[in-house]
Structure 1
Amino acid sequence: MTDRENLTYVYAVVPDTGRVRTAVEGVRGVSGAAVSLLGEDAPPEGESPSPPVAFVISRVASDEFDERTLKARFEDLEWLEEIARTHHEVVQVISRHETVLPLRLATLYQDDEGAREALAVQRHLFAERIALLRDRSEWGVKLYIAASGSSKDRGADGPGSTGTLSPGKAYLQHRRAQHSAREDYYRSAQEAARRIDTLVSRFRTHRVRHPAQHGALAGPEENVLNDAYLVPDDRIESFRAALAAVAADLDGVRVEVTGPWAPYSFAMPPPPSEPPQEGVASNGPPR
């Protein structure tokens, strides 16, 4: 198949260095295609020089990744999971060697020329984001409330606690106890969230607030906080140690810390219509 029959699939933006070019050697991407770097054209004469950037690319068959086919395939969860996993693996390989700016799943251009033109148009923005991400990594922080039926919720079920009550009154007493426990858990969660906010300000990290997870993603507990933080690499151990103790004295809540991730949540700034502040996600990793 010739390049004219292929589309250019872009995984990320990186500094165009010898270290990155070595890192991508032998890496396989979507559909098993070889991964390479697509660098910039020479800057126009007289333009102030700045560190060069490049797209991390591979090539995919146009008949498998055209707009109509993709629309149908995004309904195929098995295929989508495979593409997402491969995309993420390519980004992770490079992130072990150099700062990487991940791009959205299935970022496609008609050919290398179109991709290179897009790179030139956005190169200054890309360079700014790479500078922001340098020597930092993304960490996920989730806050959970204990599921109904936990040991505290079942306090009214102990031996003799409802033995003198009718079944109806015993049930109502049990439900009141559950409701009271849940209110206590929510208060604990609010306090834990306040402590996390205070803690993070000490580390001067950037934050993105993702929607809370539900259903199978959250498990039996209730997820009430699902944040991503950009943490300087030299503060990671202190960051994790502080978070480990943030809810130790609070009943019914659990804090989960995951990472390090490639900085998907911080890949691009908020859109112009949004306030330029923390809280806007570009694309999340498989969290």
Structure 2
Amino acid sequence: MENLLYLYALVPASELEDTELPSLTGFDKKGSLYTVPIDDNITSIVCDLDGDEYSESVIENKIDNDMEWLQEKAFHHHETIETLYQNYTLIPLKFCTIYKTKDSLKSTIQDVEEKINATFDFLQDKEEWTLKLYTDDNKLKKEISKHNKNVEEKRRELDGMSKGKRFFAEKKIDTFVDTELENEKDRVGEALHQKIKALAVDYSIKKNWGRDVTGLKEEMVYNSVYLLPKDKVDAFLEIIDNEKNELPEEGWRIEATGPWPAYHFSSFN
């Protein structure tokens, strides 16, 4: 079988004229990355793969059954995109985007040429940043139980109650604390989002990851990604620092990471 093409990213052709493609090893650890021009404005960055060794059926089997291979190749893909991002405005492609021929690659890209050029313009001088908010529910619940005004009001209602009524009222307060805990998570996440949203040109609220994915004891309660103009990044980081200082040390953790290639704001079909 003839060689296949592994597509990493699309880059404005003019930027490759100004900055030479760095020397990078390909997906198979043998060949190197090189460029395939699509038209005067768009250039693809690819590497060759052996058609037998990396056929669709072989890759599907590897992904399903060989975790070590998957982790190694996914890391290679991510690191390669990261390196390219340091040099160019780029549209990163998904892991294992493979074409049979240069003609099929060019035809696919040319069909969405207008959208790709618009995306290049949109991404110029912008950065993708992720924001995740975690809570230690046990610690945060204690904090709310002690200092939440609504909980304090409920506790004052216990004064003068008989022992029997007080027992059931305290059980209701425990449930009320749980409700206030969830309300506080929503309040903090939404308030933080509104501040950052004002800086961003685009954003996406993502599904929270479970502890089995994060490997953390804390619960992820907010997960988002923002596309920020480069001149707004300092203001974004200042908001994060201020929020860390304002939130109680016990029970909260804010994690802001970036800049990343614009995975969430540059996809095309």
- Change in CA separation of 1:186 and 1:143 when aligned onto 2, cut-off 3 Å: same
Equivalent position of 1:203 in the other structure: 199
Q: C-alpha distance in 2, partners of 1:142/1:228?
A: 9
What's the offset of the Cα at 1:223?
A: 0.6
Structure 1 segment 1-287 matched on structure 2, within 5 A? 5-17=2-14, 19=16, 22-32=19-29, 33-41=31-39, 52-75=41-64, 76-148=66-138, 152=142, 182-218=178-214, 219-246=216-243, 248-251=245-248, 252-268=251-267
Q: For 1:211, give the aligned amino acid.
A: K
Q: C-alpha distance in 1, partners of 2:209/2:173?
A: 26
Q: Comparing both structures, which one devotes a greater share of its residues to helix?
A: 2
- Change in CA separation of 1:151 and 1:57 when aligned onto 2, cut-off 3 Å: same
Question: 5+ unaligned residues in a row in structure 2: which ranges?
Answer: 147-167
Q: C-alpha distance in 2, partners of 1:201/1:186?
A: 22
Equivalent position of 2:165 in the other structure: none
The normalised TM-score by structure 1 is: 0.75
Specify the SS of the correspondent of 2:243.
Answer: coil
- Change in CA separation of 1:18 and 1:130 when aligned onto 2, cut-off 3 Å: closer
What's the offset of the Cα at 1:148?
A: 3.2
Q: Write out per-residue CA displacement over residues 211-248 of structure 1, whole angstroms, 9 at most, x where no aligned residue.
A: 11112433111112111100111110111111222354
The normalised TM-score by structure 2 is: 0.79
> Which is worse superposed, 142-151 or 70-79?
142-151
- Change in CA separation of 1:243 and 1:175 when aligned onto 2, cut-off 3 Å: farther
Q: For 1:70, give the aligned amino acid.
A: I
Specify the SS of the correspondent of 1:74.
Answer: helix
Q: C-alpha distance in 2, partners of 1:151/1:65?
A: 52
Equivalent position of 2:153 in the other structure: none
Q: C-alpha distance in 2, partners of 1:193/1:79?
A: 37
Paired residue total: 243
- Change in CA separation of 1:62 and 1:56 when aligned onto 2, cut-off 3 Å: same
Q: For 1:130, give the aligned amino acid.
A: F
Mapped contact 1:25–1:36 kept (Cα < 8 A) = no
Question: 5+ unaligned residues in a row in structure 1: which ranges?
Answer: 42-50, 157-171, 272-287
Mapped contact 1:54–1:119 kept (Cα < 8 A) = no
Q: C-alpha distance in 2, partners of 1:148/1:30?
A: 45
Q: C-alpha distance in 2, partners of 1:225/1:151?
A: 18
Mapped contact 1:211–1:226 kept (Cα < 8 A) = yes
- Change in CA separation of 1:70 and 1:192 when aligned onto 2, cut-off 3 Å: same
Q: C-alpha distance in 2, partners of 1:247/1:182?
A: 23
Q: C-alpha distance in 1, partners of 2:226/2:15?
A: 29
Q: Write out per-residue CA displacement over residues 111-151 of structure 1, whole angstroms, 9 at most, x where no aligned residue.
A: 11211222222221111111111111110011112143679
Q: Write out per-residue CA displacement over residues 176-224 of structure 1, whole angstroms, 9 at most, x where no aligned residue.
A: 8876654443222111122123212321331112211112433111112
Mapped contact 1:146–1:185 kept (Cα < 8 A) = no
What's the offset of the Cα at 1:7?
A: 0.5
